[in-house]
Amino acid sequence: MKKIVITGMGAVTPIGHSVNEYWENVTSGKCGVDKISKFDASDLPVQIAAEVRDFDPLQFMTKKQTKEMDPFMQYGYAAAMQALEDAGENICAPERMGITVGTALGGISTIAETQAGITSGEHTKVGPRFVPKVIGNEVAAQVAINKGFRGPSMTVSTACSSGGDAISLAAMFINSGMADACLAFGTESTLNSLFILGLSSAHALSRNNDNPKGASCPFNKTRDGFVIGEGGGALVLETEENALKRGAHIYAELAGISNCTDGYHATSPHPEGIGAIFCMEEAIKNAGLEPKDINYINTHGTSTGVGDPIEANAIVKVFGDSAKDIYVNSTKGATGHMMGAGGVTEVITCVKAIETGIVPPTLNLVELDEKCPELNYVPLEAVKAEVNVAMSNSFGFGGQNSSVIVKKYNKYY
């Protein structure tokens, strides 16, 4: 296995349009959840979301590109451009630069809006940009076209594990010898009536419309579902050899990856958390570590009644007595559930925790659900902590599980 390091990061989130802005706000306790402003949601049972507000795509792309890209593409593209700029020039030969993208639902908003227009009679024609705007892989194509990358490129859609799996796939590209470096990013924008109605009928979303800032409350007793978020996150991964050769700044090492399925249910996680347990154990094994080596876990922690306690109890089963010594939080109280984007931005959160010695808070955790074991959930306020190794969990519909481990970079081992 080659040592893979992280040399570039980018983020577009509901609480910041750059990694630095995101980090400042997530550690200070800012919440990005509010009333939906992108369309009239007053007739919907769910009227709140964590939107990316005041985003100017022209800071990152041409006017022509904005017309060719759905919002999910714009957020991912912007995060990718940030990460590439952060990593520096001449990362590797164009044919040795890979791209992996994770998105759960691609251009669902453009699909929903277009169909609504046809059904209402507002228009009868569909423009030539429609198909490229809704296909998941087209955002990778836009990046490749802009930068002239010609290496391997794949887009994964594994529900809410998509972002984490994009990172894992990037590591596979590098370890297989197919690429020397890889841009891995996750991106999502699902704010439309169709998606909201589908999830609300499944009782998955919070209906706390009168208290948006308190609606996403992972592990809290009063939680009633997750809050939709949107955005993009990106990492540049490369071999240590390649990074050192070009004098790149190394943020952290990508230490371990894992992916598995529950084989249980189309939407619900296994009640005993067998997939989550196996996934975390395999990531630790892949990293060549022991459970006691993990200092911090950024959980999937979506604020659902079923998922939160299953994940928390799975952590206890994996980490045993050392579980109480681990910082265990969820940043979805601040960002909502960003789905494909969350798997990457939450790994960025882990990297920043290692870099700064700060663990962000789990917002709105006032009263722990009795079904959740007593752990250090970092409620309400960030804490200072020495973090050398951190894990990010992403679990999705269909029993998809992803765990990614990053650790402090050490040149000598």
Catalytic residues: 160, 300, 337
Taking the C-alpha atoms of residue 6 and residue 238, their distance in angstroms, rounded to an integer, is 7
CA distance 158 to 12: 21
Q: How many residues are listed for the chain in this entry?
A: 413
Determine contact, residues 335/50, Cβ cutoff 8 Å.
yes
The conformation of residue 367, written as its DSSP 8-state character, comes to: S
Q: 6 φ, ψ to 5°?
A: -105, 120
Number of H helices, E strands in the chain: 13, 14
* Helix (H) or strand (E) segment spanning residue 342: helix 342-356
Q: Which of 302, 305, 301, 306 is nearest to 375 (CA)?
A: 301
The residue behind tokens 């959160």 is: 349
Kindly calculate the radius of gyration of the chain based on its CA atoms and give it in whole angstroms. Answer: 20
In the numeric block, the tokens 């206890």 are attached to: 316
Contact between 169 and 184 under an 8 Å Cβ cutoff? The reply is yes
Instruction: Specify whether the CB–CB gap between 307 and 399 falls below 8 A.
Output: no
